[in-house]
Structure 1
Amino acid sequence: MKTSTTPVDIQKAATSKIENTDFNNLAFGQVFTDHMMICDYKDGAWQTPKIQPYGPLEMDPSARVFHYGQAVFEGMKAFKDEEDRIWLFRPEDNFERINKSSERLAIPAFPKEFFFAGLEELLKLEKDWIKKGFGNSLYIRPFVIATEAGVSAAPAKEYKFMIICSPAQAYYSGEVRVKFSEEYSRAADGGVGFAKAAGNYAAQFYPTNLAKDEGFQQIIWTDANTHEYLEEAGTMNIFFRVGDKLITAPTSDRILDGVTRKSIIALAKEFNIDLEVRRVSVKEIVEAAKSGDLKEIFGSGTATVINPIVGFGHAGKKYDLPKLEDSYAGFFKDKLTKIQYNQAADKFNWRYQVK
Structure 2
Amino acid sequence: MSNENISITLTTDRKQKPDVEHLEFGKVFTDHMFVMDYSLDQGWHDARIIPYQPITIDPSAMIFHYGQTVFEGLKAYHSKDGKVLLFRPDRNMQRLNQSNDRLCIPEIDENLAISALKELVKVDSDWVPKAPGTSLYIRPFIISTEPSLGVHPAASYKFMIIMSPVGSYYKEGIHPIKISVESHYVRAVAGGTGQAKTAGNYASSLKAQEVAEESGYSQVLWLDGVERKYVEEVGSMNIFFKINGEIVTPELNGSILEGVTRNSILRLLKHWNIPAVERRISMDEVYQAYKAGVLEEVFGTGTAAVISPVGELFWNNEKLTVNGGKTGELSMKLYNTLTAIQLGSEPDPFGWVVEVEQEVTNK
TM-score normalised by length of structure 2:
0.93
Instruction: Please tell me whether the aligned partners of residues 177 and 310 of structure 2 are also in contact (alpha carbons under 8 angstroms).
Output: yes
What displacement does 1:243 show?
2.6
What displacement does 1:15 show?
2.1
What displacement does 1:324 show?
5.0
Instruction: Please tell me whether the aligned partners of residues 37 and 50 of structure 1 are also in contact (alpha carbons under 8 angstroms).
Output: yes
Percent identity over the alignment is 41
Distance in 1, matches of 2:71 and 2:198, equals: 7
Distance in 2, matches of 1:234 and 1:47, equals: 35
Instruction: Please tell me whether the aligned partners of residues 7 and 117 of structure 1 are also in contact (alpha carbons under 8 angstroms).
Output: no
The one-letter amino acid of 2:13's match is: T
Distance in 1, matches of 2:341 and 2:132, equals: 11
TM-score normalised by length of structure 1:
0.95
Matched, 1:145 2:143: yes
Q: Which deviations, in whole Å up to 9, do the C-alpha atoms of 1:55-81 show, x marking residues without a partner?
A: 211110000000011000000111111
Calculate the aligned-residue CA RMSD, in Å.
Answer: 1.6
Unaligned runs of 5+ in 2: 358-363
Q: Which deviations, in whole Å up to 9, do the C-alpha atoms of 1:214-245 show, x marking residues without a partner?
A: 21111111111111111101100001112322
Distance in 1, matches of 2:31 and 2:3, equals: 23
Distance change >3 Å, CA 5–CA 58, structure 1 → 2: closer
Give 1:104-143 correspondences, 5 Å limit: 104-143=102-141
Q: Secondary structure of the equivalent of 2:143?
A: strand
Distance in 2, matches of 1:109 and 1:353, equals: 25
Choose which of 23, 26, 30 in structure 2 pairs with 1:26: 23
Number of the residue aligned with 2:351: 349
Q: Which deviations, in whole Å up to 9, do the C-alpha atoms of 1:79-134 show, x marking residues without a partner?
A: 11122211111111001110110111110011123212211111011111112354
Number of the residue aligned with 1:202: 203
The one-letter amino acid of 2:296's match is: K
What displacement does 1:6 show?
4.6
Distance in 1, matches of 2:356 and 2:343, equals: 13
Question: How many residue pairs end up in the alignment?
Answer: 352
Instruction: Please tell me whether the aligned partners of residues 49 and 114 of structure 1 are also in contact (alpha carbons under 8 angstroms).
Output: no
The one-letter amino acid of 2:188's match is: A
Q: Secondary structure of the equivalent of 2:98?
A: helix
Instruction: Please tell me whether the aligned partners of residues 134 and 341 of structure 1 are also in contact (alpha carbons under 8 angstroms).
Output: no
Distance in 1, matches of 2:114 and 2:226, equals: 40
Instruction: Please tell me whether the aligned partners of residues 18 and 33 of structure 1 are also in contact (alpha carbons under 8 angstroms).
Output: no
Number of the residue aligned with 2:216: 215
The one-letter amino acid of 2:48's match is: K
Number of the residue aligned with 1:37: 34
Give 1:172-251 correspondences, 5 Å limit: 175-251=176-252
Number of the residue aligned with 2:360: none
Number of the residue aligned with 1:257: 258
The one-letter amino acid of 1:22's match is: D
What displacement does 1:4 show?
4.2
Distance change >3 Å, CA 51–CA 325, structure 1 → 2: closer
Distance change >3 Å, CA 103–CA 326, structure 1 → 2: closer
The one-letter amino acid of 1:125's match is: V
Matched, 1:330 2:332: yes
